[in-house]
Amino acid sequence: MRALPATFREQARAVRAYAVESRAFALESWAGASPIDRLALVLVPLALFLFVGAVVSAVVMLGPTLDFLGANQPLVRFVVVVLGILLLTVPTAFLLIYMELKVIARMNLRVGPNRVGPWGAAMSVVHGLKVLAKEDFAPTGVDVPVFTLAPVVTFLASVMTLLVIPFAPGIFGQDFNIGLLFFFAMGGLSVLGLLMGGWASFNKYSLLGGLRSAAQIVSYEIPLTISVVGVILLAGTMSLNHIAQAQSGSALDWFVFKQPLAVLIFFIAATAEANRTPFDLTEADSEIVAGFSTEYSGMRFGFFYFAEYVNVFIISALITTLFFGGWTAPFNWPWPYNLNWLDASGIGAAWIVIVGFALLVAADVLGLAIWLFRGRQWSAPSAFGLGFVIAGAGVTILIILACIIALDWVQGIFWFMVKTYIFVFVFVWMRGTLPRVRVDQLMGFAWKWLLPASLLNLFVTAAAVIILNLPSAR
Amino acid sequence: MTFIPGLGIAKGMALTLRRFFAPKATIQYPEVRPDMAVRFRGRLQLLYDEFGTLKCETCFQCAQACPVECIDMGGHDTKNRFYTHWGPAETYGERREESALRRSGRPVPDQAYVHFQPIDLVAVEEILEARDYDPGKMLPILEEVQAAYGYLPIAAIKHISHVTGAPYALVYGTATYYSHLSFERRARTVAVCRCTSCLLAGSGRIANAIGEGLWTKLAREPVGGVALEQLAAHIPGAASPLVTLDGKPQRDVTETSAAAWSRALAKKTVA
């Protein structure tokens, strides 16, 4: 911003001072107070009272509460996991919508949203608020309970699949031994939501759209599921956690190199499953009425939309987990450098070096810099004192950061998110590039190409497992 | 020619990825202005009003201003004869008045047409003589002509153009550009004070209301003989907001009454 001339600033200051002064006069009586003042006069004491009450009751109730939570650990875990997964979908969907706007804009040689928030990052939040603020409208003749439940079913079907996805060692909702089966079972439920929405809308176009999307998703579910069986054969388990662990080591251990055809089939089928371009016939937004969601508006439509983006994330996460090593590092971690000496649990020589030596050096360098560049305003003791304080704070923050990074699950989440968002980017990239296929091409491709290819993949994998006598066959 | 499955997809994906990193075409308009020539006016075209009448009045100012002389005018006259380079708008006074009437939806006395009547040119000749018939001294010549006649007669402008050799459009353009030069006799002058206290008391809104009543704006060319001006300085002792008519403060002009007052004044003056 351009600096204002001093006189402008003085004027502004005078105006502000005047405003403060007149406010002080206004607050002397209730009658003279502005509505905001009156509100504050009521709310501030109330908030203070509630805060003090909360603190007191927390102190009193802390022991019994902890006892109760300790006695009901499975329940607590359930609540925490469900809350965490539901809450995770919100920033995920916002991030994906923002990514889509921004990435496709860049591919169109545009800039994309750049006004709301830094680099337009709050754009999807504003979109969400807009959808929330719209009228919750149900057309005449609609079967209201089913009409309302349909987006909920679709959304929950997506969210439930998040339960079994391992984000990092120890960071997952539930480690089922039928994890993958659960995933596809829950993912398949989203068809039910689409059908419900199409049927309940009391509109033949919605019904046809719903049936068509059901046909598409059910057709693609078959090659999708069969292509994954190869991975199950290799890993010898359906638990996603163990599948991720089976690929630990380096990038060469990933199943993508053992199952290249399966990755291709899975990726294509997953694109259709998530209703993404070039298979987004479910709501071909530029061609036909919006398919099953024709009659939807407001937040009911918002949930379909929401579920679509959560689906993209989930599908990317599943590809990562099944074929790209999940949360494991792509190279033999801790290469290229060992972070174990920073482990918070053991105080080793590294700590003494950092705290004792590095701190002194940093303090001296900083103090010298302050003393040199600050001129005579700073005496030597105060300059070095300040240098010591800054260096101490910096080193402390660095140590804490290093300890956090050294944690297993932080690294796990890092690698998992990096890989997942690479696939999210690929999905968005495809949407920015590929044209939509025709509906007969869509179905023909699934039945004539993907299904035989996935069966072939399954056959070859099974034969290899037996012939090579891989560990999972024993 | 070999067919490789997926090659087209790969090509397309590569193209979009290159575009992803390519420089963007967007210009962040309010913050960043495109680098254009100062006199760039976009694509040239003639506009029509809502009645389908060409808005162009063939005043030739655009042709005169065009640095590369790409603008010229031509068309069919009333006898369906084609001319390039029509004469000045004032020779088509009737047509122009009709057009102006339609566009404004109000009775506009076409002063240019009225003052096109021949005048006694002796005073103009004297001024031109003193100024050595120099087209470079156009502004002083026009000012003196206005001082001599009380307004700028169109006949005088035509004469000046004819004698000095300056194109008519140039003289006409000069006369219309300066707000103190007027094609009509100034009968009355309304002045609004715009000192700080008057502005706080609402003189800005009053000026707007009066401008609407007089079919003009502050310091624009007057219409119908009533000029609207800004008072040079507040008259000591006068109340705010201050409005004067021919130098006399008008006490009864307020924000609410300004529009009606000015409309009545305009009607009186024209009649």
Q: Encode pLDDT of B26-41 as tens digits.
A: 888 888 887 776 666 6
Predicted pLDDT at B86: 47
Which of A226-230, A258-262, B164-168 is predicted with the least confidence, judged by mean pLDDT?
B164-168
Predicted pLDDT at B112: 47
pLDDT digits (tens, 9 = 90+) for B169-197: 888 888 878 877 887 777 788 888 888 88
* Distance in Å, alpha carbon of B199 to nearest chain A alpha carbon: 19
Of A108, A114, A434, the CB nearest to B9: A434
Most confident among A87-101, B52-66, B174-188 (mean pLDDT) = A87-101
Predicted pLDDT at A2: 46
CA distances from A371 to A204, A361, A375, A467 (A): 79, 15, 6, 75
Cα B202 to chain centroid, rounded? 27
Average confidence (pLDDT) over B52-72: 67
The larger pLDDT score, comparing residue A23 to residue A232, is at A232
Give the SS3 label for residue A299: helix
Tokens 């987006």 locate to: A151
Burial group, residue A60, by CB count within 10 angstroms (0-12, 13-18, 19+): exposed
- Across the interface, whether the CB atoms of B16 and A429 are under 8 A apart is answered yes
Predicted pLDDT at A429: 95
List residues in chain A touching B: CB distance below 8 A. Answer: 103, 106-111, 114, 429-430, 432-434
CA–CA separation, A180 vs A189, rounded Å?
Answer: 14
- Residue B67: band (very low, low, confident or very high) from pLDDT cuts 50, 70, 90: low
Tokens 């992803």 locate to: B20
Alpha helix stretches (DSSP H) within B134-218: 138-149, 154-164, 168-177, 196-200, 203-213
Give the SS3 label for residue B228: strand
Residue B111 has pLDDT above 60, yes or no: no
Of A110, A114, A429, the CB nearest to B17: A429
- Across the interface, whether the CB atoms of B16 and A107 are under 8 A apart is answered yes
Residues of B in contact with A110 (CB under 8 A): 24-26
- Across the interface, whether the CB atoms of A433 and B12 are under 8 A apart is answered yes
Nearest residue of B to residue A430 by CA position? B13
Alpha helix stretches (DSSP H) within A236-273: 240-246, 260-273
Helices B122-130, B154-164: axis angle to 10 degrees equals: 40
Write down the number of H helices and E strands in chain A: 16, 0
The larger pLDDT score, comparing residue A332 to residue A35, is at A35
CA–CA separation, A288 vs A213, rounded Å?
Answer: 13
List the one residue out of B80, B70, B16, B7 whose CA is nearest residue B43: B70
Tokens 């993907």 locate to: A450
- Residue B15: band (very low, low, confident or very high) from pLDDT cuts 50, 70, 90: very high
- Across the interface, whether the CB atoms of A110 and B15 are under 8 A apart is answered no
Residue A9 has pLDDT above 90, yes or no: no
Predicted pLDDT at A364: 82
DSSP letter, residue B90: G
Mutate to test the interface with B, among A263, A279, A433 (most CBs of B within 10 A): A433
- Across the interface, whether the CB atoms of A103 and B20 are under 8 A apart is answered yes
Domain ranges, ordered by start, for chain A:
8-73, 74-334+411-473, 344-406
Q: Which residues contact A90 (CB under 8 A, 6 or more apart)?
A: none
Which of A282-291, A297-306, B163-172 is predicted with the least confidence, judged by mean pLDDT?
A282-291
Residues of B in contact with A114 (CB under 8 A): 28
Residues of A in contact with B16 (CB under 8 A): 107, 429, 432-433
Average confidence (pLDDT) over B52-77: 66
Which of A110-124, A314-328, A346-360, B191-205 is predicted with the least confidence, judged by mean pLDDT?
A346-360
Percent of chain A with pLDDT over 90: 39
Q: In the structure encoding, which two tokens stand for residue A453, read together?
A: 């290819």
pTM recorded for the entire structure: 0.62
Mutate to test the interface with A, among B26, B29, B32 (most CBs of A within 10 A): B26
- Residue A368 near residue A387 (C-beta atoms within 8 A): yes
Average confidence (pLDDT) over B244-262: 84
- Across the interface, whether the CB atoms of A433 and B22 are under 8 A apart is answered no
pLDDT digits (tens, 9 = 90+) for A381-425: 777 888 888 888 887 888 778 777 777 788 889 999 999 999 999
* Long-range Cβ pairs for the range A77-82 (8 Å, 24+): A81/A163, A81/A173, A81/A174
